[in-house]
Amino acid sequence: MSSDIIQLNEDLIKNNLKDLVRDSVEETLNALLDHEADELVRAGKYARTGDRKGYRSGHYERNFSTTSSEVKLRVPKLKGIQFETAIIERYKRRECSVEEALIEMYLAGVSVRRVEDITETLWGTKVSSGTISNLNQKAYHSDAKD
Selected residue with higher pLDDT from 59 and 28: 59
Give the pLDDT of residue 82: 87
Query: CA 128, 130, 133, 135 torsion: positive or negative?
Result: negative
Whole-model pTM: value is 0.60
Could you tell me the pLDDT band of residue 122, with boundaries at 50, 70 and 90?
A: low
Give the pLDDT of residue 93: 64
Q: What angle do CA 116, 121, 123 make, to 5 degrees?
A: 90
User: What is the number of other CB atoms lying within 10 angstroms of the CB of residue 99?
Assistant: 20
CA atoms within 13 A on the CB side of 110: 17
CA distance 136 to 103: 6
Selected residue with higher pLDDT from 83 and 138: 83
CA distance 133 to 110: 13
In 3D, which of 93, 144, 138, 140 has the Cα closest to residue 119? 93
Residue 68's contacts (CB-CB under 8 Å, 6 or more residues apart) are 18, 21, 22, 25
Give the pLDDT of residue 3: 67
Q: Report which listed range, 24-28, 56-60, 97-101, 112-116, is most confident.
A: 56-60
What is the amino acid identity at position 124? G
